[in-house]
Amino acid sequence: MTLHIVNKSPFETNSLETCLRLARSGHCVLLFEDGVYGASKGTRFEALLTEAMQNCKIHVLLPDFEARGMKADNLIAGIETVDYLGFVDLVTASERVQSWL
């Protein structure tokens, strides 16, 4: 399994869209830094993420989400939260880590 880590807002670059298009079934995605904006409810990316979650697990780094003034109940349903320790666990549980810089 590959872990994809996305650190840019989907409103700034298309790295999240590209990542979700290329991620294979069973892969994991972690949104962190400005990437967390993609995890918030009610944006034009919500449908894309909801669809992606049929094949992939999507996580968000909660400290980065909260640092931007959002709370866990602003998350799109199905997205799981992790802290830095959880980030480490995602890395060790994956065979490789792909950074979408």
Partner 1 sequence: MKLGIMVSEGPYQHQASDSAYNFTKAALEKGHEIFRVFFYHDGVNNATRLTVPPQDDRNIVNRWSELAKQYDLDLVVCIAAAQRRGLLDENEAKRNGKDANNIAEGFRISGLGQLIEAGIQSERLVVFGD
Instruction: Return residues touching partner 1 (CB under 8 A).
Output: 5, 7, 32-34, 63-64, 83-85, 87-89, 91-92, 94, 96-97, 99, 101
Nearer to partner 1, 50 or 81 (CB): 81
Nearest to 61 by CA among 2, 5, 1: 5
With a CB cutoff of 8 Å and minimum separation 6, the contacts of 83 are 61, 62, 63
The minimum distance between CB 71 and partner 1, in angstroms, equals: 20
SS3 assignment, position 28: strand
The minimum distance between CB 88 and partner 1, in angstroms, equals: 5
CA distance 40 to 37: 6
Nearer to partner 1, 63 or 81 (CB): 63
Six-digit token string for 19? 């990542």
The minimum distance between CB 54 and partner 1, in angstroms, equals: 27
CA distance 6 to 71: 19
Nearer to partner 1, 57 or 87 (CB): 87
The minimum distance between CB 58 and partner 1, in angstroms, equals: 18
